[in-house]
Amino acid sequence: MKLIQYYVINRKTFALIPTFDSYGHLFTRVIEGDTSFLVSMSPLQIIEESIIYFGNDYKGARVAAKQALGNIDMPPIKISGSLGIYWFPSMSPSRDECIWFCEDHIDDTIFLSRKKTKIILPLGHEIIMEGSKKHFDLKLHRARDYRKKIETRTTGTSYILHKPHEDVLIIKEHNPNSYQFDQTAQKKKK
């Protein structure tokens, strides 16, 4: 399997899986598109470096997620809002066994046993992980909820009201790429 030294998450990255070599060194198996390869970084290092690459930091990303979702453990992380890249951990990110998933690339979750879940990713990738389907689905739901909240905040509808001389100008922004202007003139009361 190909080994690279440095990696930054992109839109085609599906998952980051911790992998140990025969000497106990931690690497990451990256699933990207229809391929996978090894990176000489831990999954958490890749998450941290990717957040920095897109202009934030890991601590700030955690604080922002907790502000939006409440003071939850293991919050999802926004890697890049403009690219729609949101990730979440399978367990505590401080644990070497933690797998990171992109919320946008989870096709299905399948119950295998009380403590094993199969994760179905696009293009035929499958990951069997330790942990219950119920807890995984909750983390996935939180990540999708967080993404929706951030997207609503940054692309939501806004209104501006202006009343010079009793003329009313209303600007309605329905989406970031289109504007609708309505101007209503009111007769002055005598």
Give yes or no for residue 89 having a pLDDT over 70.
Answer: yes
- How far does Cα 170 stand from its chain's mean position? 34
pTM for the predicted model, two decimal places: 0.81
pLDDT (mean) for 53-61: 96
Lowest-pLDDT range, 29-33, 41-45, 131-135, 156-160?
156-160
Residue 153's pLDDT is what?
87
Q: Tell whether the model's pLDDT for residue 187 goes beyond 80.
A: no
β-strands 3-4, 35-39 pairing: parallel
Classified as helix, coil or strand, 142 is helix
Give the separation between CA 60 and CA 5, rounded to whole angstroms.
Answer: 26
The band of 186, judged by pLDDT with boundaries at 50, 70 and 90, is very low
What distance in Å separates the CA atoms of residue 149 and residue 134, rounded to the nearest whole number? Answer: 22
What pLDDT, on the 0 to 100 scale, is given for residue 9?
Answer: 98
Distance CA 95, CA 51 (A): 19
| Matching residue, tokens 């990738």 | 125
Which phi and psi angles does 71 have, rounded to 5°?
Answer: -80, 75
Tell me which of 19-28, 66-75, 158-167 is least confident.
158-167
Domain boundaries, the chain: 3-155, 157-190
Give SS3 for 179: strand
Nearest one of 94, 98, 95, 62 to 78, comparing CA atoms: 62
Is the pLDDT score of 170 beyond 70?
Answer: no
3-state class of 48 per DSSP? helix
* C-beta atoms surrounding 43 within 10 Å: 27
